[in-house]
Amino acid sequence: MTGVAGAVISGLGVALPPSTVQDDLWEGFFAQHYAGGRHRLARRIFANSGVVTRQAAVSPLLEDVSEWSTERRMRRYQDEAVPLGKAAVSRALADAGLSASELGLFAVCSCTGYATPGLDILLARDLDMSPTVQRLFVGHMGCYAALPGLGATNDFVVARGRPALLLCTELTSLHVQPAGTGAADVQQIVSHALFSDAAAAAVLTSAARSLPGYQVREVVAVTDTTTTGHMTWEVTDLGFRMGLSPEVPAVLSVHVRTLVSDLLARHGLTIGEVDGWAVHPGGPRILDVVRERLGLQESALAASRGVLSAYGNCSSPTVLLVLEALRRAARPPRWVVMLAFGPGLTLYGALLEFAPATR
């Protein structure tokens, strides 16, 4: 077992834009977005996405952004992301019983919008964080960004003994693309069927603090650089364009069991002893591969499939939404393995253990 006492996730907060039924999105917008054979393919992809409802700060039922310039999308990002992030941060701080002025580090993850001053500066100002608060902005890491963010905030708390806050905010609804042809357009259909908007925040405090929560035991990663083209997020004149190879699940299949087994072995654990799985629901096939390779019961991924169904794939906040679902369960698990995947292809994992109040 490793001997370093990690920080404790002592507060979580979630903020969501208005929710929309997946079938309504299809019938009200995307059914008209595609024609001919593409229409039939898109309808099948939407129906098999595993998504029932999802959120959109900029709903295609109200505004068609597919022809908007990147500049226009980025201006709207700032308008929508600031209040959404503020709500998530405020809820996480209240959950942890802390004021914003007590934070030593404020880390923000987002790959769906950029501006300077960014969310880290604007929210630090609006929430009255200390002028001496340190800030970290993590961009363009995609769906796995919450876990390197968690690692950075954990390391800060362990080294400095001061609280830190991680915010993940994504507005994928700003990046609806024009309908096209060819294999690349099929990848756009998949992303249009899956992706959603959300903000999630986590407060990390010293293990010596009294509040109960999940203690970070270790954060790990593996990147297969032979597959860098399998998942991309390119800045274009019409927003950010997703590239998503159908080979992604196969690559995850090669690496996920070794990553998890090695992580657990360092802490004297086996897969069978883990009672909580917070797996990023990148899509139904991703969850199927993780379940098969780790030999899990379907019930182990109930929280992940529930988040996919209710919220869609929200990119970086999603794994925190799954952790929040586990934390709020009637019987919260003792050991939680968090897994998330993204460009690289990169797999990130974290091991958490429930820590009761220290005094």
Task: Give the pLDDT confidence score for residue 5 in this predicted structure.
Answer: 78
Kindly report the average pLDDT of the chain as a whole number: 95
Give all domains of the chain, ordered by start, each with its CATH number: 8-205 (3.40.47.10), 213-355 (3.40.47.10)
| Residue 29 CA, distance from chain mean position | 25
Q: Is 143 labeled as catalytic in the residue annotation?
A: yes
Q: DSSP alpha helices (H): ranges in the chain?
A: 22-25, 31-33, 36-47, 70-96, 119-126, 146-160, 183-194, 248-265, 284-294, 302-311, 318-327
Residue 195, both tokens? 């992706």
Task: Give the pLDDT confidence score for residue 359 in this predicted structure.
Answer: 53
Count CB atoms within 10 A of the CB of residue 297. Answer: 9
pLDDT digits (tens, 9 = 90+) for 128-179: 999 999 999 999 899 999 999 999 999 999 999 999 999 999 999 999 999 8
pLDDT digits (tens, 9 = 90+) for 310-359: 999 999 999 999 999 999 999 999 999 999 999 999 999 999 999 887 65
> 38 with 179: CB under 8 angstroms?
yes
The pLDDT-based confidence of 1 (bands split at 50, 70, 90) is: very low
| Helix, strand, coil content of the chain in percent (nearest 5) | 45, 25, 30
pLDDT digits (tens, 9 = 90+) for 88-116: 999 999 999 999 999 999 999 999 999 99
Residue found under tokens 């998942």: 231
Task: Exactly one of 109, 111, 143, 168 is catalytic; name it.
Answer: 143
Distance between CA atoms of residues 309 and 49, nearest Å: 9
Length of the chain: 359
Among 308, 254, 309, 303, which residue's Cα sits nearest to residue 275? 303
Residue 291, both tokens? 């379940």
Task: Give the pLDDT confidence score for residue 3 in this predicted structure.
Answer: 56
Q: Averaged over 283-298, what is the pLDDT?
A: 97
Tell me what percent of the residues of the chain surpass a pLDDT of 70: 97
DSSP 269: -
pLDDT beyond 90 at 294: yes
Task: Give the pLDDT confidence score for residue 2 in this predicted structure.
Answer: 53
Q: What are phi and psi of 46, to 5 degrees?
A: -60, -45
Tell me what percent of the residues of the chain surpass a pLDDT of 90: 91
20, containing H or E segment: strand 19-21
Distance between CA atoms of residues 169 and 122, nearest Å: 14
Among 298, 114, 98, which residue's Cα sits nearest to residue 106? 98
Q: Which residues contact 345 (CB under 8 A, 6 or more apart)?
A: 223, 224, 227, 228, 230, 231, 248, 251, 252
DSSP 28: I
Residue 292, both tokens? 């098969």
pLDDT beyond 80 at 184: no
The pLDDT-based confidence of 181 (bands split at 50, 70, 90) is: low
Residue 157, both tokens? 């708390």
